[in-house]
Amino acid sequence: MRAVLDTSAELAPDAYATDAGLEQMRAAYGVERRFWNEGGPTMAETIDTTVATAHGQVAVRCHLPRTGGALPAVVYVHGGGFVLGNLDTHDRIMRALAHESGAAVVGIDYSLSPEARFPVGIEQCAALARHLLDSGEEYGIDGTRLAFAGDSGGAGMSLAATLLLRDQADAGQPPVAVAALALFYGLYGLRDSASRRLLGGPWDGLTTEDLDYYLGCYLADPADAASPYLDCLGADLGRGVPPTFLVSAALDPLHDDSTALAAMLHEHHVICHHEEFDGVLHGFLHNSRMLDAAVVALQHGGAFLRRALDDQN
């Protein structure tokens, strides 16, 4: 992990400097991620396109590990504190999950904050899932076999989009079945915890002040912090939540969010497989060029998705 930190600091020391301004943060984050996205699995086909949502067009990227038949799909929602990231910054993660799961991985370039505020991004993710159900064949995808995956803020958004689709079906919209979730070191609703008090610093951009900054950018109204699509731990998790694969990092300030979610899902008898990785920081999934733990987490997450989606046959 030390070698990873040293490399990232050399590439872009300002990647998490919230006091540097959002434009500089985004530029530095993109530079730093470019190195980590080199290499990785080669796809049979990659399709870059756009999808219409109620909040405008969003760019999506479909990574197909093979062609010649309709594949199940995993909607991938990238992390970045709701303010950073895009399809390029998380491309290797998406390709690795496609390789390991055998599914098409469809990344979404949802609208970032503060330009777009909660719940715009979540609604765009749900709209993409609905589009894949209706029109997946255009991309070689079987939209009846669908999962969500995401890291960091994108993990929480993946869970939230699943809950939103459930609630939309309750309100009379056509149902969209989600077969599984793969959630990596996500943010699920805790505002205070032991891990937040003990961990985090300038090396990972997750000090208490950093977390407050990201949330302030994301929310138009502080009262939205109580929404079940942000405070997912306060949502009704007893129905409509599919089998879930959870990853937490032992040195992550958000560690306790994952342990809390795992406990809640077990309490509601939702199938949940939780793996904790020792000695790694938040965001370690990016570092598969140098970090064995990242490779293993992606392998295990992909295998979980493969099994869940195969069960939909």
Cis bond leading into 13, ω under 30°?
Answer: no
Question: Which residue among the candidates 90, 99, 131, 282 is catalytic per the annotation?
Answer: 282
Question: Which residue among the candidates 152, 158, 248, 258 is catalytic per the annotation?
Answer: 152
The CATH number of whichever domain residue 67 belongs to comes to: 3.40.50.1820
Pair of tokens at residue 184: 């990596």
- Report pLDDT digits (tens) over 137-173: 999 999 999 999 999 999 999 999 999 999 999 999 9
152 is catalytic: yes
Mean pLDDT of 273-288: 98
Question: Which residue among the candidates 109, 252, 256, 257 is catalytic per the annotation?
Answer: 252
The parent domain of residue 65 ranges over: 2-310
111 is catalytic: no
Nearest to 249 by CA among 305, 156, 186, 295: 186
252 is catalytic: yes
pTM over cut 0.95: yes
Number of domains forming the structure of the chain: 1
Q: Is the pLDDT of residue 92 over 90?
A: yes
Query: Pairing relation of β-strands 71-77 and 104-109?
Result: parallel
- Report pLDDT digits (tens) over 110-123: 999 999 999 999 99
pLDDT bin (cut points 50, 70, 90) of residue 311 is confident
Pair of tokens at residue 165: 């689709």
Mapping DSSP to helix (H, G, I), strand (E, B) and coil, where does residue 19 land? helix
